[in-house]
């Protein structure tokens, strides 16, 4: 006679709660989340600083946002060009090494 495990009715087997219902997986309420401090205003570099008399009058937030976006786009363009030139020079160096 083989020793078979006892037959278990599937309805009597305890099932773990879905992960979303377990307390350790629930998202904390917004009130319980720590609030992040606002980011400090960026400090302009020395060459970007203007004296008080040079400073333009305060602009509307939309104008400031557009100017910021334009400067970010310029920075990205500059970075892309710099990366492209570095990659090209690296490729040239690799080609010359391969030929040697």
- pLDDT tens, position by position, for the chain (100 residues)? 567 766 666 565 555 655 555 555 555 555 555 556 666 666 666 655 555 556 655 558 888 899 999 999 999 999 999 999 999 999 999 999 998 7
Residue at token pair 């100017």: 67
Provide the 8-state DSSP code for 46.
G
Question: Using CA atoms, how far apart are residues 66 and 86, in angstroms rounded to an integer?
Answer: 30
Provide the 8-state DSSP code for 32.
T
Residue at token pair 């500059």: 78
């Amino acid at each position: 006679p083989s020793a078979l495990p006892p037959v278990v009715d599937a309805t009597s087997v305890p099932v773990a709660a879905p992960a979303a219902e377990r307390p350790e997986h629930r998202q904390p309420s917004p009130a319980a989340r720590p609030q992040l401090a606002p980011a400090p205003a960026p400090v302009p570099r020395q060459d970007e600083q203007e004296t008080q008399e040079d400073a333009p009058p305060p602009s509307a937030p939309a104008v400031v946002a557009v100017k910021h976006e334009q400067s970010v786009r310029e920075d990205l363009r500059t970075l892309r060009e710099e990366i492209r030139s570095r990659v090209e020079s690296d490729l040239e160096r690799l080609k010359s090494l391969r030929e040697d």
